[in-house]
Structure 1
Amino acid sequence: MNVDLINSADVIGMFCRLHMNSKRDFSIRPSEMGVLIYAQKQSCAVTPLMISQFFNISKPSVSLMVKSLTKQGFLIKESSITDKRSYTLVITEKGENLVESSFIEYFKAVKLLKEKMGVDKFGQLVDLMKIANCILEEENTGSEALDYFQVADVLSKLNNRKITYVKPGLLKYRNYYIKNRGLDKGYVNVTVMLYIMTRLGTAKTITNEFFKLTGKNPRTFEDFAKANIGAFMKGNDN
């Protein structure tokens, strides 16, 4: 057991909890305030996809926030001239006023850190967090966008046997993992939603931020699979 890793995880977890639980006196949710601030500072038209990609959240989550903000009069939707199904978001005067009046409250935890740590240490913290974000992003998304069929081809090559992605129906998949594999229903429901979003192409975005910050190229899925080949060998179905 690596005590240093455990202690480090505790420290990072505590920081995240303290930041997330810091009291903010808003008339709307902090996540919705984040969307308003994002919409206000953009110089171009804002779309739900832009919000989804910037905050790394699903489109359904964005839709719920947009619905709430438009209902309260903080945002308005402007339909696309060429595609009536698409729309852009514009912050209203009411939204502008809320952002201006709540700006200090929204960033007070960050402001407190900067004041207490000092400019130099705070700057170092931000720089290190940028690097950490890129490393985790690269670990989760890799350097390429592959579909399930391409992943199966890579695993076939590394295992020297044919692995086929059969694209199961969502209900069939759900029933199998709950009834046959005995997995928790809540966990399976989450994976179903993840697979739906992946099939819709929401995980296909690739950026060069990792390289710009670290000077290193992100590894490919094949490299990742080689490093963890034991998890993909026949007979290992965990």
Structure 2
Amino acid sequence: MKDNNWKQIVQMHGTLRLFCNLAIRKTPKGEALSAQEIDLMYHVALSKEAVTPGMLTSTMGISKTMISRLIDGLTQKGMILKKKSTTDKRSYSIVVTQKGKKEIDNAYQYYMEPIYRLQKEMGKEDLETLFSTIEQANEILHKSTLSTF
């Protein structure tokens, strides 16, 4: 192996994977919506501007195909609506329905509990430092993967 630090890199990768598994909750069995569907609705509900599928591809870091599947599923479940563009008939934005907003409210505490626990145990300042570093890493990794989405 060319990298003399490969063992350390493997260990770091394992630490990152464990953090993700502990901090990002899986969808409970029997739930109607997946964690990715909830995440998509969070992005739409919290945005100050109209959200398009292309924007979601970029902000969520997943493929156009996956975004389309999530949108189709959420539309069928009545959680979101596709709002056609008045200027471009091929384009549309996404709006969360009342039913979707209720689902977001119900899921919020379950999915956010690990972050609240980190804030309580680490303190607000350390948590902000952690997430600032994660955002920096995301930007670096996002640049190298933009062409794959």
Q: TM-score range, shorter-chain basis?
A: 0.7 to 0.9
Q: Secondary structure of 1:89's partner?
A: strand
Task: Report the 3-state secondary structure (helix = DSSP H, G, I; strand = E; otherwise coil) of the residue aligned with 1:77.
Answer: strand
CA radius of gyration, larger in: 1
Shift of the 62–112 alpha-carbon distance from structure 1 to 2, 3 Å rule, reads same
- Structure 2, unmatched stretches of 5+, are none
Report the CA distance between 1:78 and its aligned residue: 1.8
Residue 4, structure 1, aligned to residue 8, structure 2: yes
5 Å-filtered alignment, 1:115-154, equals 115-138=120-143, 140=144
Shift of 1:17: 3.0
Secondary structure, counterpart of 2:32 in structure 1: coil
Partner residue in 2 for 1:82: 87
CA shift at 1:63, angstroms?
0.6
Alpha-carbon distance in structure 2 between the residues aligned to 1:81 and 1:124: 42
| Alignment match, 1:38 | 43
Aligned twin of 2:20: 16
Tell me the C-alpha RMSD between the 2 structures.
Answer: 2.3
Task: Map 1:147-166 to 2 at 5 A.
Answer: none
Distance 1:80-1:6 versus aligned 2 partners, 3 A rule: closer
Deviation at 1:34, TM superposition (A): 0.6
2:12 is equivalent to residue 68 of structure 1? no
Which structure carries more relative contact order (alpha carbon 8 Å, separation 6+)?
2
Aligned residues: 143
Mind listing any 5+ residue stretches in structure 1 that lack a counterpart? 142-201, 206-238
Distance across 2 between alignment mates of 1:63 and 1:6: 34
Name the % identity.
28
Structure 2 equivalent of residue 222 of structure 1: none
- Alignment CA distance shift 1:69-1:41 (3 Å): same
TM-score, length basis structure 2: 0.82
Note the C-alpha offset of 1:9: 2.4
Contact kept? 2:51, 2:94, Cα under 8 Å: yes
* Structure 1 pair 85–114 and aligned structure 2 pair: CA distance change class (3 A): same
The reply to whether residue 203 of structure 1 matches residue 115 of structure 2 is no
SS state of the match for residue 203, structure 1?
A: helix
In the superposition, the TM-score normalised over structure 1's length comes to 0.54
